[in-house]
Structure 1
C-alpha cells in the first residue's frame, strides 16, 4: 500500500479558548487543501469544557464556577459531555480527514469503520508506552478495570471528518470540580464505577510511573508510521493564526456557554406553561425539555445530550419539530423526531456510538411525564422546575 502523506501540528500547551478556536480553523484548511491533519496538544490551563449539545445547567453550577473563578467554554460543533481538565494532566489529539477519500484503506464516509480502524491504531500507541491493559468500552471510552482514562470519538463536522480524543496522563485535583459538577440522571447507568473520584483514572496510575505528553505523542507518531502514514511537521500558517485569534474570543462568551441551557429554557417558556425535563441513556445520554400548554400541546422543546452527530443544528431542528405536537400522541412525537433525525443529512457512527429516534423519544416522554405531573394551577411563572 502506498504511504500516505499527512500534515502534523504539535500545538503543545494550549489554553481552552485557543484550543476550541483552532479546530474550526484546521477543519477549513482540510476542506481547502484536501490533506489530512493530525494535531496534538496538552491542556495548559485548568478549565471546564462543555460539549456542543450538552445542557450546561444539567452538568455545571455556573454561578459557583463564577464564584470560584473557573474558566468555562463550549466546544464548537464537537459533541460529548462536559469535562474537567487540569493543566498538564490531559493530552488531546485530533485526526482531521477530508471527506470522500480512503484513509488507511477505509472510506472516510464510513464513521463506524473509520473509528474501528483508529481504535486499532491508538491501541498500538498505548501498547508502546505500557498501557496495553487499557480497553475500549461503552460507546467511546478508554477504560482500565472499569475506570475511564480517556476517549476516542468520531464525528462528521460538516467540512471534514474528525477522529478525536483525550487521555488523562496525571491525576487531577478534583476538589474544585466536585464543587461545581452536576451529574445528569442516568449518566453513569452503563458504568461499573459510579463514584466520580474513583471513576477518573490516569496513565500514571495504570503503569505506576509518570507518563509525559511527549511520550504519548511520540507513541502515536510511531504507530501512524507503522500503519503507513508519513507526517510533515508544520506550524499554523499566518492566515490560520489570524483565524484562531479571531475565533478564540467567542467560545467563552455567555451566549456560547448557554447555547443549550435548561435554566434559560425555563426563563423563555411561554407564560402559563408547565415545564419538565427528562433523560434517557442509550449509547449516549439524551436529554429533553418541554413546555406544555394546559391542553397538553408542546409549546416549546429543548433537545440536548452528549451525542456526536452532524450537522451541528440537528438537535435544535428536532426540538423545533416537536413544537405544536400533542404530548399524548407518542406516534406523532416519534414521527416528528424521525423526520429530522433520520434525514439523509444526519450523520453519526451509528453502530459504535450512535443515538436513535427511539432514544430521543424516550427522553421526550420522560420530560412530558415530568411536566404533566405538575399541578394544573402551577404555571411556568410559579414553578421553578
Structure 2
C-alpha cells in the first residue's frame, strides 16, 4: 500500500497557516525528484481566530475589519477561492496536497470535491453522525452544513482543504463577516443556525482533539486507500516557508485584490406570499453580471427541509438575467417537486425579479446604498412617472405637534415632514400626511379612481413588505423611500401605528427623497 506523509502542524496564526499552504503546494509542484515529491495529508488549527477572505475577494467588502481588530481576530486571504469564513480556535482543518497525475485522482474538479468530502463524511460516521455531500463543495448533516471544502491548482499539483465545525459561534461570525445577513436582528440568528451545525450540537459534547484527529485520519486512509507516516517539512519547504511567512503577513498580500465596491454588493428584496414571507439577500457582481451567492429565508414551511439550501446552491454564480433565473427556478421545481405550503416557483421568481430590477436604479444615478432603500409597487422604476402626490407618514412629525395625527402641516421646520412639504410644493406635488392605515387605503383608492398615474411616498421597509400585496391589489403605481430611526415594527407597536396612535418619532430620508423627486421631475 502506498504511503503518504502526515503533517499535524498544530496551532498557528493566519499568515503562518497560509504560508504553509503555499509552501507545500509550491514544493510539490516544483519537485524534481521522487524524494522531494511529498504527497501529504495535513491537519491545521488557528489561534487567534481568523477572518479569511477567498483569494478573489476584497477584504473591505467581505470582512468587518474594525470588529475583527477590536476582538483580536486575524484578517487574511486564503490562496484558495470561495467565500469568506471565520476560522475560530475550535475548528479543525484538513488538507490534501498531491500530484494531479495520480491515477485515482479525478480529473474534474467537481468529482475531486466529492471525493475529498468523503474524508469528512467517514470521520463524522466514526462519531455516529450520518453526513452526506452537498454539491458543489459542502458536507451536511440533515440539510445543515458542517464542513466546507475548497482548493487550488499549481502546475501538476493540487491543494484541497476542508474545515470541520467542532463548535459554532453564530453571533461572532455575523459580526466578523459581511455575509448577506446584515439586516438580521438578534432573534433571527436562528436563521443562520438552521443552515449550519457542528460536532458539539450533534453530539451534545465537544470531542477531544486527538479523537477528531484519529477520525479524520481514518477517513483519509479509507478514501485514498493509502497509509500515512508522520513526517516533517523538507529543507526546500522550510526555505519556502521562511520567505512565505513574510509575504503572507504583508498588507500587500492581504489587500492585494481590491475590487471597486461598485462591482459587488448586496441587494435585498422580499415578498409576502400566501404561505409566508420570502426574503432574499443577494450578493451580485456588477462587472460580470452574476449572482455571487444568495440566501433565501422566511417564515414558510418547506418539505423536504433542504429544498431551499439546494435552490441556493443551484443559483450560485448564476447570471443575473431574470429570464434565465426563472428557467433555473422552474427547472429546479420540476426536478425536485418540493412541497412549500402556499408558495410556488413563481413566488421565488418574483422576489428575484424585484432584486434584479434594482440594478436599473444604478443606471439612473442612484448609489449602491440608495438602491436598497427605494421600493416600487405595481410597476418598475422606469415605468412609474408623472406622479402628482407625495404621501408622508404621520410618525415622522414631531411628537409634540398638534397636527401630528392630521393631514396638515405648518412647515415650521421642527421635523422632516415640514421640509418634505416644502420640497413637494416646489415641484408641484400635493403633500398628504397619512394618519393611519385605513387612511392610506382610502387615499390610494381615491387617487386611482380620479385617474392619477402614480404616487411617491415614504414608509419603512417592514411596512412595505407587510402591505406589498395590498399596494398591488389597489393597483396604483408608486415609488417609496425608506425612513430612518426606530420604527413601530422595531418596537413591536404595529397595532398602535396602524390605528394612528404611535407616539415615537421617525425621520424621513430627505436627501434620498429629494434625489428621487428631482430625477422624476426631469423625466
Given that 1:169 and 1:212 are in contact with CA atoms closer than 8 Å, whether structure 2 keeps it comes out as no
Give 1:182's aligned residue.
Answer: 178
1:372 aligns with 2:346: no
Residues 279 and 16 (structure 1 numbering): CA distance in 2 closer, same or farther, change over 3 Å? Answer: same
TM-score calculated relative to the size of structure 1: 0.64
Aligned position for 2:8: 10
> Which residue among 119, 132, 135 is the counterpart of 2:132?
135
Deviation, 1:92, is 0.4
* Larger-Rg structure: 2
Superposed, which structure 2 residues align to 1:55-66 within 5 Å? 55-66=58-69
Partner residue, 2:87: 85
Superposed displacement of residue 18, structure 1: 0.8
Range 34-43 or range 193-202, more displaced: 193-202
Which blocks of at least 5 consecutive residues in structure 2 are unaligned?
Answer: 32-36, 268-281, 294-312, 326-351, 368-511, 513-523
Could you say what secondary structure the match of 1:250 adopts?
helix
Rounded Cα–Cα distance in structure 2 between residues aligned with 1:220 and 1:369: 49
How far residue 201 of structure 1 moved from its aligned partner, in angstroms, is: 2.1
Report the alpha carbon displacement of residue 142 of structure 1 after superposing the two structures with TM: 2.0
1:195 aligned residue? 191
Confirm or deny: 8 A CA contact 1:28 1:159 kept in the other structure.
no
Deviation for aligned residue 1:356: 6.2
Hey, what's the Cα distance between the residues in 1 that align with 2:101 and 2:315?
Answer: 21
Show the 5 A alignment for 1:152-301: 152-172=149-169, 174-184=170-180, 195-197=191-193, 199-227=195-223, 228-262=225-259, 265=260, 275=262, 277-278=264-265, 287-290=284-287
Whether the aligned pair in 1 keeps the contact of 2:95 and 2:162 (CA below 8 Å) is yes
- The aligned counterpart of 2:376 is none
1:72 to partner: Cα distance: 0.4
The change in CA–CA distance for 1:304 and 1:43 in structure 2 (over 3 A counts) is farther
Q: Is the 8 A contact 1:276 1:371 kept in 2?
A: no
Give the 3-state SS of the residue equivalent to 2:162 in structure 1: strand
SS at match of 1:195: helix
| Whole-angstrom distance in 2 between the partners of 1:171 and 1:203 | 9
Q: 1:55 touches 1:260 (CA, 8 Å); kept in 2? A: yes
Q: Which of 37, 46, 49 pairs up with 2:49?
A: 46
- State how far apart, in whole Å, the 1-side matches of 2:357 and 2:208 are: 44
Name the CA distance, whole Å, in 2 between partners of 1:302 and 1:251.
Answer: 31
C-alpha change, 1:238 and 1:277, in structure 2 (3 Å) is closer
Per-residue deviation, residues 11-43 of structure 1 (Å, max 9, x unmatched):
122221110100111012222344421111222
Distance (whole Å) between structure 2 residues aligned to residue 11 and residue 118 of structure 1? 20
2:92 is paired with a residue whose SS is strand
- Higher RCO (CA 8 Å, separation ≥ 6 residues): 1
Structure-1 separation of matches of 2:99 and 2:207: 32
Alignment of 1:347-366 (within 5 A): 358=319
Contact 1:13 1:41 in 2 (8 A): yes
Deviation at 1:81, TM superposition (A): 1.2
Q: Give the secondary structure class of the aligned counterpart of 1:45.
A: coil
Counterpart contact for 2:151–2:159, Cα < 8 Å: yes
1:96 matched to 2:93? The reply is no
Q: Which structure 1 residue ranges, 5 or more long, are not aligned? A: 267-274, 291-300, 307-351, 377-382
- Measured on the aligned residues, the alpha-carbon RMSD in Å equals 4.0
- 1:52 to partner: Cα distance: 0.8
Distance verdict in 2 for CA 1:113–1:182, change over 3 Å: closer
In the alignment, is the contact (CA less than 8 A) between 1:111 and 1:154 conserved in 2? no
Residue 369 to residue 101, structure 1, CA distance change in 2 (3 Å)? farther
In the TM superposition, what is the alpha-carbon distance from 1:46 to its structure 2 partner? 1.4
Count of aligned pairs between the two proteins: 298
Compared with structure 1, are the counterparts of its residues 212 and 44 closer, same or farther at alpha carbon in structure 2 (3 Å cutoff)?
farther
Per-residue CA deviation, residues 256-301 of structure 1 (Å, 9 max, x unaligned), is 3333345xx25xxxxxxxx564569xxxx974245xxxxxxxxxx8
For residues 289 and 256 of structure 2, the distance between their equivalents in structure 1, rounded to whole angstroms, comes to 11
* Residue 380 (structure 2) aligns with: none
CA distance in 2, matches of 1:169, 1:232: 25
Distance 1:6 1:113 in 2: 21
Task: Provide the C-alpha distance between the structure 1 equivalents of 2:38 and 2:240, rounded to a whole number of angstroms.
Answer: 19
Shift of 1:176: 4.1
